[in-house]
Chain A
Amino acid sequence: MNAQPAPPRPAALIEPDDIPYLPRGVRLADDRVRGIRVLQAPERAMQLDAIGDAILSELDGRRSMAGIVHDLAARYNAPDDQIAGDVRDFLTGLIERRMVFVKDRS
């Protein structure tokens, strides 16, 4: 076995102007037994922390990722670029799993 260098961060699958949304079959839900928030998706339920829940609750199919970042920054009193990377990486991970879609650029 060779020691592998740490993998580079995977390329983002979403640009600031892209509009992310939860496609049919993916929805936010309360897990009333465990007292947590989950993302329900085909054959998978993913536990969400407060940050993940806050990001996904913003996905309305109208605002771009940049707009969502801006609104979150205002609400949490943080600079845009401090949270832009977190939002992009979080959404990229969900796009990879096909739990978040991006509207066609047209």
Chain B
Amino acid sequence: MKDQQHQPRDLDGNPVTPGLPMAMLAEVTHRCPLACPYCSNPVELTRAAQELTADDWGRVFRQAADLGVLQVHVSGGEPGARRDLAQIVAHARDAGLYVNLITSGIGITRDRLEELDRAGVDHVQLSLQGIRPDMADRISGHPGSWDKKMGFADWVRDIGFPLTINAVVHRQNLERLPDMIDLAERLGARRIEVATVQFHGWADLNRRALMPTRDQAAMARQVVNDARIRLRGRMVIDYVPADHHAVYPKACMGGWGSTGLNVAPDGTVLPCHAAQSITWMRFENVRDRDLDDIWLNSDSFNAFRGTAWMPEPCQGCDRKTVDFGGCRCQAMALAGDARATDPVCSRSPFHADVVARAEADAQADPADFIYRRMKKGD
């Protein structure tokens, strides 16, 4: 019999049943040489002095594996900004995890990539900000980024890592999507992830510069569908569409606290990478509590588990176990209420406003980028 105190409950006190996590995003640093205006890191970035040590990460990885995690996505910031990255990777492999390295390709030399190979990186995902030097360097805010990325991709191929290209698309580069897919194929990628910018955090500050038009979203869908047929058996295309133009929201994280968790550079454990935008929510830290305790018993992970917490129109909706009410962070950002139906859903009372605002932003003169940078000095 479980002690009544230990029955996990959602934010309304309804009992919930935690499952087991499959995947963990390990954001080992927020430091990054790039300054992409849609960065998924929070606007308040963590400084180097607050980062977990490699040994801390080793402990977290062992706890994660014991909890059921099979794969770790080692990301950032730019993970290569950590000089002890190979040690972190080795700890993850020692814990039995499959290691995906998610990198900009900037700041990792060939020697270091070979060191990461020996440490046990299983798979490399390389981000692409655009096609050709001018666009890639402007969007990333880093002159020379394109040439460095192409050199990095050569080393990945020489060493033999499986490669995924991660192309983030938006208003200013969507027309070049066919070229991005061609480039990924030329680079020998097994997969390309075409991900439309998600408008949280930094991207929300840059809505007018980045919001795709409805026509662009439709074109992208067609390009992806055609390429999937053409490249069947040669390259996989995963596609995250522009959800401001969708009928139903995306099933964010496959459901809050259901299969994934994110550990931030300072050890804060989050149900998703943007969860800190829910400003009233308190998050636990692996410095204070073990990961399984956080996963099973923390208020943050239990808050939106199950379906009992959902208000209408989600509660009576037959899709509530398909998309889980959509994205909690988007509900917070667009409806001012993290419990609300994701406002990109056509059944949300906010939907018409959200679409109107997205269309207006997409048609407005594109604003200059507000680049993602750490504040100086503090």
Chain A residues close to B by CB (< 8 Å): 10, 13, 23-26, 29, 31-34, 38, 40-45, 95-98
Contact A97 B125 (CB under 8 A): no
Contact status B71-A25, CB under 8 Å: no
Stretch with Cβ within 8 A of A (4 or more), from B231-239, B278-286, B339-347, B360-368: B231-239
State the Cβ distance, A103 to closest chain B Cβ, in Å: 14
Q: Evaluate contact between B125 and A45: CB separation under 8 angstroms.
A: no
Min CB distance, B234 to chain A, in Å?
8
Query: CA–CA, A77 to B91, complex, Å?
Result: 44
Closest to A95 in B: B233
Which residues of chain B have C-beta atoms less than 8 A from A29's C-beta? 70, 98
CB of B100 within 8 Å of the partner chain: yes
In the complex, number of A-B residue pairs with CB atoms less than 8 Å apart: 60
Contact call B73/A43, Cβ cutoff below 8 A: yes
8 A-B pairs within 8 Å (CB atoms) are namely A10-B232, A25-B162, A33-B66, A40-B71, A41-B123, A42-B191, A43-B125, A95-B233
Report the 6 A-B pairs with minimum CB-CB distance, sorted nearest first: A25-B162, A42-B123, A33-B68, A98-B190, A45-B70, A13-B233
- For A24, what are the chain B residues with a Cβ–Cβ distance below 8 Å? 160-162
| Shortest CB distance B160–A (Å) | 5
Residue among A25, A33, A98 with the highest chain B CB neighbour number at 10 A: A25
Query: In the complex, A26→B66 CA distance in Å?
Result: 22
> Which B1-29 residues sit within 8 Å CB-CB of chain A?
20, 22-23
Q: How many Å from the CB of A16 to the closest CB on chain B?
A: 17
Give CA–CA (A29, B67) in the complex, Å: 16
Question: In the complex, what residues of B have CB within 8 A of residue A41's CB?
Answer: 123
> Does residue B164 face the partner (Cβ distance < 8 Å to A)?
yes
CB contact between A45 and one of B71, B73, B164, B190 (< 8 Å): that residue:
B71
CB neighbors of A among B62-79 (8 A): 65-68, 70-71, 73
For residue B122, CB closer than 8 A to chain A, the reply is yes
Assembly CA distance A80 to B35 (angstroms): 58
Q: How far is the CA of A29 from the CA of B96 in the complex (A)?
A: 9
Contact A98 to B191, CB < 8 A, known contacts A24-B160, A40-B71: yes
Q: How far is the CA of A61 from the CA of B66 in the complex (A)?
A: 33
Is the beta-carbon distance between A34 and B123 smaller than 8 angstroms? no
Select from chain B the residue with minimum beta-carbon distance to A31: B70
Tell whether A43 pairs with B232 under 8 Å between CB atoms, given A25-B122, A33-B66.
no
Q: Which residues of B contact A31 (CB under 8 A)?
A: 68, 70
CA separation between A10 and B20, bound complex, in Å?
A: 34
B 164-186 binary contact with A (CB < 8 Å = 1; else 0):
10000000000000000000000
